[in-house]
Amino acid sequence: LMVALNRLMPHAAGVKESIESGKVWLATGNAMTLFGKTLTRKEEQPAVGVFDYATTIDDSKRFLGDVLTADEPATLGFINTSCIYKGIESPLLTLYLNKELGNDKVTAFDGIREKNFFGTQLIGPFLVKNPHYMEKVCSLLTGEEVTVDKDSNMAKAYEVALKELKARVDATK
């Protein structure tokens, strides 16, 4: 993470201009950390500063688990982080399963959405696991409507995983 931040910092003005002009960005997992105002591990240091949130990394803890959102259509994935985000005003998602894994580890809000910047703590193949986001992001990138075939393996895998995660939620009620 720190290597990525150090490599990105010389380009901070260009990154900020790109995001503010509406270019499409997707930051998953800990990559979201890079775009806030500050990053604190042992000491506070500036991050790229596109957005006005602060990230604290607590190396003594891991926040991890499967997640399912309350949004429609539901988004699913996995969070594995030691990051705590404070000050995000426009979250991308609202967690339903494992709400305590949200940005601040108190509320159920995950990620950030500003213009065409999509940031989420969810790791792994975020777009492949969530065909509706694949459609949204690819449509924004191409300027044309992109759809995922409902009979595709991607769509079928999403439906199976969604069913299983919903069953897990129902079992805890």
Residue 134 predicted with pLDDT over 80: yes
So what's the pLDDT on residue 173?
74
Residue 103 predicted with pLDDT over 90: yes
Largest separation between any pair of C-alpha atoms in the chain: 50
- How many whole angstroms separate alpha carbon 46 and alpha carbon 44? 7
At 35, is the pLDDT very low, low, confident or very high (cuts 50, 70, 90)?
very high
> Residue 80: CB partners within 8 Å, gap ≥ 6?
29, 62, 63, 64, 123
So what's the pLDDT on residue 124?
81
Three-class secondary structure of residue 53 per DSSP: coil
So what's the pLDDT on residue 1?
85
Residue 112 predicted with pLDDT over 80: yes
Mean pLDDT of 115-121: 97
Residue 94 predicted with pLDDT over 90: yes
CB 30 within 8 A of CB 83: yes
Q: Rounded mean pLDDT of the chain?
A: 96
Could you tell me the CA-to-CA distances from 87 to 36, 51, 65, 104, 111 in Å, in that order? 9, 9, 23, 9, 11
More confident: 155 or 173: 155
CB 103 within 8 A of CB 85: yes
Provide the CA 64 distance to its chain's centre, in angstroms.
Answer: 14
Question: What letter would DSSP give residue 108?
Answer: S
Q: Which amino acid is at 57?
A: I
Residue 128 predicted with pLDDT over 90: yes
Mean pLDDT of 108-116: 97
So what's the pLDDT on residue 2?
87
Residue 165 predicted with pLDDT over 80: yes
